[in-house]
Amino acid sequence: MELYSNLKEGEKGAWLSIWTYILLSAVKLIIGYIGSSEALKADGLNNTTDIIASIAILVGLRIAQKPPDADHQYGHMRAETVASLVAAFIMAFVGFQILLSAGKSIINPVKASPSMLTAVVAILSALVMYLVYRYNLNLSKRIGSEAVRAAAYDNRSDALVSVGTAIGIFGAVIGFPIIDSITAFIIGLLVILTAWKIFYPSVHTLTDGFDEEDVEKLSQLVRRVDGVIKLREIKGRMHGNLMFVDLTVTVNPKLNVVQSHRITEEIERKIGAKKPHSVILVHIEPDLTN
């Protein structure tokens, strides 16, 4: 099934993120301590959480590839969404740790200015993370993976954080050391904001939330199917990257079973053309309004 092969391909993005974060976090933490930069250390600490978050996404992608079994007859694809939720919690926890550390530095500022080397590291890191972001974003679009897309948004956030880190370090170097600590505090806020952006859609999916715009588009599609008199009800939910759609339509009560079945097949075909990874259940009822 194409959906499972897409999940397998999504692992490439997770692995790329993991190895990139391992390298960058080590470099940032070491240079941050040597160069006396609270902002770069906060950025490095942020990247350590990204390692864990990316591992969680990788594990989620692996579990999601398991076929349906006796205990999970709809498959395991929600593991991908659960992994995104776990990643969000990890990021939020470390974001608060960064805020606490930066707050202490602001209250009791260190007089030493950070080294210019720390700014160079931050700029190079931003460039690397932007390239990783572009790769994962393109990958997520190609395979339709929400988890890889979440990883891409995390990559983009890290690129912006590193740009902010460089700006803060430059400000500290020219004579305002407290700017470095203030930047670290802002980084903490950005980490928490990114965690929220991953957390909300994950919870929305796990609680069977469904995009209202998708409902409206699918409703219009069904109403235009030849033979459908009225669309009485339509419901949808996401199971990982697999969409489940349940709907009830009314048809001419004089149609036989074969004719009614052809209408359901046409509905399934049209929805499937718009949403390839979907399971559609159509309930046919006679229209008795006339």
- pTM for the model stands at 0.74
Mean pLDDT of the chain: 85
What is the pLDDT at residue 2? Answer: 67
pLDDT value of residue 133: 93
pLDDT-flagged residues of the chain (< 70)? 1-3, 109-112, 177, 290
pLDDT computed for residue 99 by the predictor: 84
What residue type is assigned to position 251 of the chain? V
pLDDT tens digits along 17-45:
999 999 999 999 999 888 888 778 888 88
Residue (of 89, 85, 64) closest to 10 by Cα position: 64
Characterize 245-269 residue by residue with b for buried, 16 or more Cβ atoms within 10 angstroms of its Cβ, and e for exposed.
bebebbbeeebeeeebeebbebbbe
Instruction: Identify the bridge partners of residue 263 per DSSP, sorted by sequence position.
Output: none
AA letter at 195: A
pLDDT of residue 109: 65
